[in-house]
Structure 1
Amino acid sequence: MKTHLWPQFIEVVKREVVPALGCTEPVSVAMAAATAMTYLNHEPKTIKALVSPNLMKNGMGVGVPGTGMVGLHIAAAVGALAGDPQAKLEVLKNLTDADVAKGKALIDAGNVTVGVAEVDNILYAETTVSDGEDEVRVVIADSHTAIIRIEKNGEILFEAGKESAGNDEPAACNPFTEAKAEDVYEFALNAPLEDIRFISEAYNLNNALSQEGLNGTYGLQIGATFGRNQERGLLGKDLLNNVLRRTSAASDARMDGAMMPAMSNSGSGNQGIAATMPVVVVADEIQASEEATIRALMMSHLMAIYIKSYQHKLSALCGATTASMGAVAGMTWLLGGEFKQISDSICSMIGDIAGIICDGAKTSCAMKVSSSASAAVKAALMALDGIRVTGQEGIVADDVDTTIRNLSTLANGSMCETDNEILRIMVSKVA
C-alpha cells in the first residue's frame, strides 16, 4: 500500500470537498464582486462582469440562492451588495430580501453588465465594481475561489505567482500523478478512522438538502415525483427508486436556489450530491455501521476526485456522471464487492453514460443526476454478479485506470468543440 500518499489524499479531499451555497459558477462571480467591495467605501453604482465561455454556460440559467432569480447579473449584484468573501463558496449565506431588492434595482437601471471574456482559462471570472469614486477589479481563475489579481484605480494591489494561475496543480500537491484507483480503494478501507471521519459532514449536508427537495417545490421536482409515485404504487419503495428519489431531490433544491449548502466535490455541488446520496441510501438500506458508511463515503468522494483529476474543471462532459462513478465504488463495496467488482462497475458506467453532455447548470441537471445514479445502481449490481462492459467494447479498456484516462481524453479533446457548439446554441437563445 502506498501509505506515503495518504496525507496527500486527505489534503486533496479537504480541499475539494467543501460546503457550497448555490451553483459554484455564479458564486465565483459573486465572490469576485464581494472581494472588490472590501476595497471600496460606498455602495456599488456599477458592476461589470466578464467570464469565460464555460462559466457563462454554467451560470446563465441556474438559480441564485435567496434571490428567486437565475443568472450572473443577480449573482454579481448581490455579491457586491451583501457577499461575505471570507465565506468563499458560501459567499451569499447572509443575503436578505432588502439586498435582493437593491440588486434588482441595479440591474433594472442597467448598471450591471455581464459579458464573455476572451481568455484561455476554462474557469475565469472577473468583476469591476465602482462606487462612483473608486473602481476595483478582481480576477478569479482556474478554481472557483482562486483570486489571482486585484486592482484599484489601475494600481495592482495583489497578483498571484504564476504557479497559482496555471491549469494544473503542482505535482507535489497532486497525489494522482502517482496513484491509481486501487490506491484510493486501499486508503478508504485502511486509513485511521479519525483521519477520515470529517467526510461524514457530506452525509449531513447533502441528506438535509435532499429532505428540503422532497418537502419543497423546487425545480422540476424530480425527487418529489419519484416519491409521489411510490405512494401511488406506480413505483416500488426499493433500493433503486430510493436512490433516484433522494439523490435527485437534493439536486432539485440545490439547482433552484435553496438557501442550504451542498457538500461539493471538485468545485461542484451537484458532483458532491452525486458522490454522496447514492452511498447514503445504500448505507441506510443495509443498515451499515458508522465506520462502513464513513469509509464508503471517503471511497466515493476520493474516487470521484481521482477520475475528475484527469479532466478540465469545466467541459462538455456532465460532471454528475464522473461523480457517480465515485459513488458506484462506495455502493459496490457496501454491497459486498471488492476492488475487482468496483473496477468492473466503473468500467460499465463509462461504457453506459460517457456521452451525457453538460449544457449548462439549470434545474434539469437533477434529471442527469438521477440518470447517473441509476446507471451506478445498475453497474454495481452487474458487477456483483460478475458482469461488466468488456475491454473490447467502445472506449472501455480491460483495466479501470486506462478506461478512466480514455474517458478524459474524450472530454479534454474532441468534446471541446462540442462545448463551443453548446455555448453557441445557448447564447443564441438569449441574444
Structure 2
Amino acid sequence: MDHKLICDILNSEMVVATGCTEPAAIALTAATARTHLEGKVSKVKVSASVNMIKNAMSAGIPGTEYMGMDYAAALGATGGDVSRGLQVVDHASKEAIEEAAALVHSGNVEMSKSENPEKLYIDVTLESETGHTARAIIASAHTNVIYEEKDGEVISQHDVGTLVEGVPAEKIIETLSIETIYNFVNELDREKDDLHMIENAIAINSKISEVGLEGTYGLNIGKNIARAREKGYIGDDLVTRAMEATSAGADARMAGANVPVVTNSGSGNQGITATVSVLSAAKTLGADEDKTFRAVTLSNLIGIHIHARFGLLSALCGATVAGTGAACGIVYLLGGGVEEMKYAVNNMMGDVTGMMCDGAKADCALKISTCINAACHCAFMAMDHVYVKNTDGIVETDAEKTIINFTELGNKGSQVMDNLILDIMLNKEGRY
C-alpha cells in the first residue's frame, strides 16, 4: 500500500477555506485577474457555470454583510489576496469592502451563465479606469487556475479539465476503495505519515462548530437541536449530539462567519460533516485520541473516494456523500470492519440518495442534520448486519458498485436538474 500517495490525496482534497467555497473560488478568480491589471478596477465581468451560480447566490461573504457571486467577484477584485487561496477575502480591508459594494451598486459587475459544460467553471474579466484589461479562469477545482491574460496577451493557458496541481480524480479512483481505506487507517503511523490536514480538520472544524453554537447564524439549526435536547423533546444521546455539533458548524459557515474550515473534496460543509460528526460520536463513546483520529481519517477518505467519481458539484446534495463517510467512521468507532462499512454505505445510498442541491445557503445545515441522523441510524443497522439488499433501488450487493450507481445518477442527471433548479431559484417571487 502506498501510504505517501494516500496522504497526498488527503492533503490535496482537504484544504483550508473561509466561507462557502464557491463564492471564494469566484473571488479567487477575480483576485488572480487583478494581479495582472494596471490601474483601479472599474468593471467586473463574470461568466460562470450553472453549478457555481447556484451555489454562490445565497452564501454569505466572510467579514461582510453581503452575499452572492457579484459581491464575491467585486471583493476579490478590490481586496483579494491570491496567496491565501480559498481564504482570499477574509483579510479584506473596510475600504476594499466599500469599494466592492460601490462597484456592485453602480451596475459595474456583470454576471452571466457560461455555456462551457464544465460543472466548475469561472471566467472573470476586469477593466480598469485607464482602459487596461485582465482575465482569469478557474475550472475543474476551486483553486485550479487554467488561464491568465493581460491586455489581450495570454500569460498562461491549460485545457479545461487539466488539474494544474493536486492528485487527478482518475488516480484517486484507481487508489482508493473501502477496503484499502480501512487497511490504511489501521496501518497509518502518525509519526511517519503526513496527515497534517486531518490534524487541521480536527482542530479547525471543531472551532467553527463551537462558534456556531455560541453565536446566532442563519437558521441556528445546531442551537435549535440543543434547545430541543435541553427541553427533553429529543434524547441526549450520540445521534442528537452529533447532529447538533455538525449542523452548528454549517450554520456559522453558510452565514459568512469569518472563521476558517477544512474542506473535503472542495466543500467546507462536507469537511465539517465528515469530521465533526465523528468527533462528536467518539466523545460520546469515550473513544481514545488515537481511535478518534483514525475514525476521522477514514470518514474523510470515504468521502473523497465517492467524490472522485461524483465530481465536485452536482444536482445531488454532497452532504449525502460526507454523511456516508461519517456512517463508516461511526462504524469504525463501534468496532466494525470492512463488511459493516459496506453495509453502512448501502444503507446510506438506499436512504438519502436523491436529496437535491438547490444551492449553498442557510438550510444546508438542516440537510446536514438529516444526513447525520441517517448516518448514525445506518451505522447502527450495519453493526447488526441489517442492510439494504440488491433487490432495492440503485443498491447492489457490492457497495463499490452501489457507489458507481449513485455517482452515475448524480453525473448524468445533473445537467437537466441543475438548470431546472437554477431557473426556479432565479424566478422565485419575492427573492429579494
Fold similarity call, TM over 0.5: yes
Aligned-pair CA distance for 1:30: 0.3
Alignment-derived partner of residue 176 in structure 1: 173
Q: Does 2:7 correspond to 1:10?
A: yes
The answer (yes or no) to whether the contact 1:197–1:294 under 8 Å persists in 2 is no
- Between 1:144-153 and 1:283-292, the stretch displaced more is 283-292
Counterpart of 1:152, as a letter, is K
Aligned-pair CA distance for 1:306: 0.2
Counterpart of 1:347, as a letter, is N
Q: Assess, with a 3 A threshold, how the Cα gap between structure 1 residues 196 and 383 changes in structure 2: closer, same or farther.
A: farther
Q: Assess, with a 3 A threshold, how the Cα gap between structure 1 residues 35 and 414 changes in structure 2: closer, same or farther.
A: closer
Aligned-pair CA distance for 1:234: 2.0
Alignment-derived partner of residue 282 in structure 1: 281
Listed one character per residue, the Cα deviations across residues 333-357 of structure 1 (whole Å, up to 9, x for unaligned) are 1111111111101110100000100
Alignment-derived partner of residue 74 in structure 1: 71
Counterpart of 1:418, as a letter, is M
Alignment-derived partner of residue 383 in structure 1: 382
Counterpart of 1:213, as a letter, is G
Aligned-pair CA distance for 1:180: 2.2
Normalising by structure 1, we get a TM-score of 0.95
Q: Does 2:175 correspond to 1:151?
A: no
| 1:318 partner SS | coil
Counterpart of 1:77, as a letter, is A
Segments of 5+ residues of structure 1 without an aligned counterpart are: none
- Between 1:287-296 and 1:9-18, the stretch displaced more is 287-296
| 1:413 partner SS | helix
Instruction: Say which of 187, 190, 193 aligns to 1:193.
Output: 190
Alignment-derived partner of residue 300 in structure 1: 299
CA RMSD of aligned residues (A): 1.8
Normalising by structure 2, we get a TM-score of 0.95
Segments of 5+ residues of structure 2 without an aligned counterpart are: none
The answer (yes or no) to whether the contact 2:12–2:167 under 8 Å persists in 1 is no
Aligned-pair CA distance for 1:207: 0.8
Aligned-pair CA distance for 1:329: 1.0
- Between 1:12-21 and 1:231-240, the stretch displaced more is 231-240
The answer (yes or no) to whether the contact 1:193–1:291 under 8 Å persists in 2 is no
Alignment-derived partner of residue 84 in structure 2: 87
The answer (yes or no) to whether the contact 2:307–2:321 under 8 Å persists in 1 is yes
Alignment-derived partner of residue 164 in structure 1: 162
Aligned-pair CA distance for 1:193: 2.1
Counterpart of 2:140, as a letter, is D
| 1:164 partner SS | coil
Rounded to whole Å, the distance in 1 between the matches of 2:361 and 2:64 is 15
Alignment-derived partner of residue 367 in structure 1: 366
Q: Assess, with a 3 A threshold, how the Cα gap between structure 1 residues 345 and 162 changes in structure 2: closer, same or farther.
A: closer
Rounded to whole Å, the distance in 1 between the matches of 2:80 and 2:414 is 35
The answer (yes or no) to whether the contact 1:21–1:262 under 8 Å persists in 2 is yes
The answer (yes or no) to whether the contact 1:32–1:125 under 8 Å persists in 2 is yes
- Between 1:23-32 and 1:174-183, the stretch displaced more is 174-183
Listed one character per residue, the Cα deviations across residues 110-159 of structure 1 (whole Å, up to 9, x for unaligned) are 11111111112110011111222211011111111111111111111111
Rounded to whole Å, the distance in 2 between the matches of 1:206 and 1:291 is 18
Counterpart of 2:312, as a letter, is K
Listed one character per residue, the Cα deviations across residues 289-341 of structure 1 (whole Å, up to 9, x for unaligned) are 22111111110111100011111221111001101111111111111111111
| 1:48 partner SS | strand
Alignment-derived partner of residue 103 in structure 2: 106
Once the two structures are superposed, the pairs formed by residues 395-414 of structure 1 within 5 Å of their partners are 395-414=394-413
Aligned-pair CA distance for 1:196: 4.9
The answer (yes or no) to whether the contact 2:327–2:379 under 8 Å persists in 1 is yes
Aligned length: 426
Rounded to whole Å, the distance in 1 between the matches of 2:251 and 2:200 is 20
Rounded to whole Å, the distance in 1 between the matches of 2:100 and 2:155 is 27
Q: Assess, with a 3 A threshold, how the Cα gap between structure 1 residues 264 and 231 changes in structure 2: closer, same or farther.
A: same
Listed one character per residue, the Cα deviations across residues 240-281 of structure 1 (whole Å, up to 9, x for unaligned) are 110111000000000000000111000000110111111010
| 1:309 partner SS | helix
The answer (yes or no) to whether the contact 1:66–1:96 under 8 Å persists in 2 is no
Q: Does 2:58 correspond to 1:61?
A: yes
| 1:358 partner SS | coil
Q: Assess, with a 3 A threshold, how the Cα gap between structure 1 residues 162 and 366 changes in structure 2: closer, same or farther.
A: closer
Alignment-derived partner of residue 257 in structure 1: 256
- Between 1:205-214 and 1:281-290, the stretch displaced more is 281-290
Rounded to whole Å, the distance in 2 between the matches of 1:250 and 1:410 is 29
Give runs of ≥4 in structure 1 deviating > 6 Å: none
Aligned-pair CA distance for 1:170: 5.0
Alignment-derived partner of residue 133 in structure 2: 135
Aligned-pair CA distance for 1:235: 2.4
| Identity %, equivalent residues | 38
